[in-house]
Amino acid sequence: MSTNAGAPVVRPRIVVGVDGSEPSREALRWAVRQAGLVTGDVVPQIQAVIVWDFPAPYGFGAPPLPGWNAQEVARGVIDQALSETFGENVPGNLVPVVREGSAAQVLIGLSEGALMTVVGSRGHGGFTGMLIGSVSAKVAEHAHSPVLVVHGDQDRRPDAA
């Protein structure tokens, strides 16, 4: 019987898209519950991912405002979302990740090798009334892992009455 002695342990992980909206905070809650259901010796890491990108200019190039740092703003949004979602009890296995790029493409890339990817059905930037946002639709269609799209802001835990 062969063993993997000396081989690095690959920590399972769950990727969750966060933009500060209530659907993304509900996606965080679901990701934490799902991580708690995984059995084994290694607790899955939860990657709470926020993605920022400069909007495409329409016929002109406008530089960002002096002193404005998109990376810092995005980090502030994810920190606030974690605080509003978990208060002082942010799970120890939750790691904030801030990336630049297209939200859908970054989440799809991070889904490679993940146990699952969790996204809210609609976040900031969608049209009110859409059943599923463009980012969640793209992630659901192209991710390399199973995808959970969390709809609404209701408590829909499997154990909820």
Among 14, 26, 20, smallest CA distance to 120 is for: 26
Q: Residue 160 falls within a domain, yes or no?
A: no
Among 19, 40, 12, smallest CA distance to 146 is for: 12
149/119 Cα distance (integer angstroms): 5
68/59 Cα distance (integer angstroms): 22
Give the strand order in the sheet containing 45-52.
94-100, 45-52, 13-17, 116-120, 147-150
Q: Residue 4 falls within a domain, yes or no?
A: no
More confident of the two residues 37 and 5: 37
Interval 40-60 mean pLDDT: 80
Q: Residue 63 falls within a domain, yes or no?
A: no
Q: Residue 5 falls within a domain, yes or no?
A: no
pLDDT band at 11 (very low <50, low <70, confident <90, very high): confident
Among 10, 27, 8, 22, smallest CA distance to 94 is for: 27
Domain count, the chain: 1
Domain ranges, residue 33:
13-53+68-150
More confident of the two residues 154 and 136: 136
Among 107, 134, 142, 141, smallest CA distance to 14 is for: 107
Q: H or E element: which one contains 134?
A: helix 134-142
Q: Residue 7 falls within a domain, yes or no?
A: no
More confident of the two residues 81 and 38: 81
CATH for 31: 3.40.50.620
Q: Residue 157 falls within a domain, yes or no?
A: no
Q: Residue 3 falls within a domain, yes or no?
A: no
User: Cβ(132)–Cβ(104) under 8 Å?
Assistant: no
Using the predicted structure, report yes or no on whether residue 2 has a pLDDT greater than 50.
no
Q: Residue 62 falls within a domain, yes or no?
A: no
For the packed helices 103-110 and 134-142, what is the interaxial angle rounded to 10 degrees?
Answer: 30
